[in-house]
Structure 1
Amino acid sequence: VGMVFQRPVAFPGSVADNLRAAVELGDDEVAELLRRVGLDESFAPRRAADLSGGEAQRMCLARALTTRPSVLLADEPTSGLDPDAAEVLEALARRLADQGTSVLWVTHDRAQAQRLGDRRLTLGLPDEEPDR
């Protein structure tokens, strides 16, 4: 199981160090993971603490993918991202699901839930009552 939190938690060290926290990865594997989440391989040697919020979130998603989880839990992973970066992560979530990874994606964005979910669960009261 992989987990991506709403607020990214970077480990000390470089981006590459973060990706290598759970498994040994070669430079090519680090570069590929970074590309999958929309970050250039030039991010690998950067200090994780120096990343923007959106960059850190994408790094954390890449880190969660290092173990090739069969289930990915994502708690509002795009809430701090610009629309283009969010689109990259949504596309990645769809690809992961197509490849057999179960993705549990929590969001307050109903349109995003419609785009991503083949099954959806809405909690709480609806914003509006449907027309009768």
Structure 2
Amino acid sequence: MRDAVENILTFDAAATTAARRDDPRALTLRDVSLTVGDKALVHGANLTLNAEGITMIMGPNGAGKSLLLKLAHGLTPATGGQVLWGDTPLDDTARRTQAMVFQKPVVLRRSVAANVDFALRARGIRDAARRDALLDHVGLLGHARQPARLLSGGEQQRLALARALALKPKVMLLDEPTASLDPASVLKIEEIVQEAHSAGTKIIFVTHDPGQAGRLADDIVFVHRGRVHEHGPADLFLSRPETQEARDFLQGRIVV
């Protein structure tokens, strides 16, 4: 079963490397901004993320972390600047290679198995073995015939991850997927995310938890008041942040 799951999670990354600018898992933001009415929510964000690794986006509540993630995915269109995946501007083709998981999981009013089937059939795939392997991978095979809405919060989030992984995404974007979950659920979701990363998926993960960042992150983007203040290796950011805003955030002193 382990080999089957690895095959299900792994896309063909043989032709891509972190060093190649045209790798579709590499993200570049060029002066990306978002203005609603007369209010600027994201200010000229410039950012380059490698095609590999787990990138964590951190910052206080209301800093613009989730907005930055949605701009990168195109769920929220930028009002200025350019979003590129590889060397190509964001388009429907790029979005189809990605999957996004939200803080509050969205589940359909049908069985657990049917939720995964829906994601597969949206891509023209009918594969019960693949569905069951994914449900087993996230620890939900025993709940396959149960209504999805009867699952606990942590179980619903694992179902959302199974649905995302069903599409073998090259990039997975996660918006605080462990917020408000119990410690056991948090660790299970982190394990699933790490396994997806090991299979070749680029992970971009929003969190406000330095402990979680320490466990998962290769690099960290720090956002405050709609601006990207820092981006660098996780160990350096967590031990020696460059900006006063980041130091205040990590020490619990930041004022939003």
**TM-score with structure 2 setting the length:** 0.47
Runs of 4+ in structure 1 deviating by more than 3 angstroms, as ranges, are none
Match of 2:35 in 1: none
Question: Quick check: 1:4–1:64 contact (8 Å CA) kept in 2?
Answer: yes
Structure 2 residue corresponding to 1:34, chosen from 132, 135, 142: 135
1:78-129 Cα offsets, whole Å, 9 max, x none, are: 1132211211111221222122100111001111012111111122233239
- Structure number with the higher helix fraction is 1
Question: Quick check: 1:22–1:66 contact (8 Å CA) kept in 2?
Answer: yes
Structure 2 residue corresponding to 1:71, chosen from 156, 171, 186: 171
CA distance in 1, matches of 2:156, 2:127: 19
For residues 39-118 of structure 1, what are the structure 2 equivalents within 5 Å? 39=140, 41-118=141-218
* C-alpha displacement of 1:72: 0.4
Q: Which runs of 5+ in 1 are unaligned?
A: none
Question: Quick check: 1:15–1:45 contact (8 Å CA) kept in 2?
Answer: yes
Structure 1 stretch displaced more, 119-128 or 64-73: 119-128
CA distance in 1, matches of 2:182, 2:172: 22
Structure 2 residue corresponding to 1:10, chosen from 93, 98, 107: 107
Structure 1 stretch displaced more, 1-10 or 94-103: 94-103
Aligned AA (1:113):
A
Structure 1 stretch displaced more, 17-26 or 69-78: 17-26
Alignment CA distance shift 1:62-1:99 (3 Å)? same
Match of 1:25 in 2: 127
CA distance in 2, matches of 1:107, 1:70: 21
Query: Match of 1:121, SS?
Result: strand
CA distance in 1, matches of 2:211, 2:217: 10
**TM-score with structure 1 setting the length:** 0.87
Query: Match of 1:59, SS?
Result: helix
CA distance in 2, matches of 1:13, 1:99: 29
How many residues of Structure 1 are paired with residues of Structure 2 in the alignment? Answer: 127
Say which one has the larger Rg.
2
RMSD over equivalenced CA pairs, Å: 1.6
CA distance in 2, matches of 1:50, 1:91: 23
1:6-55 Cα offsets, whole Å, 9 max, x none, are: 001111210111001121231x322321232233x121100012112111
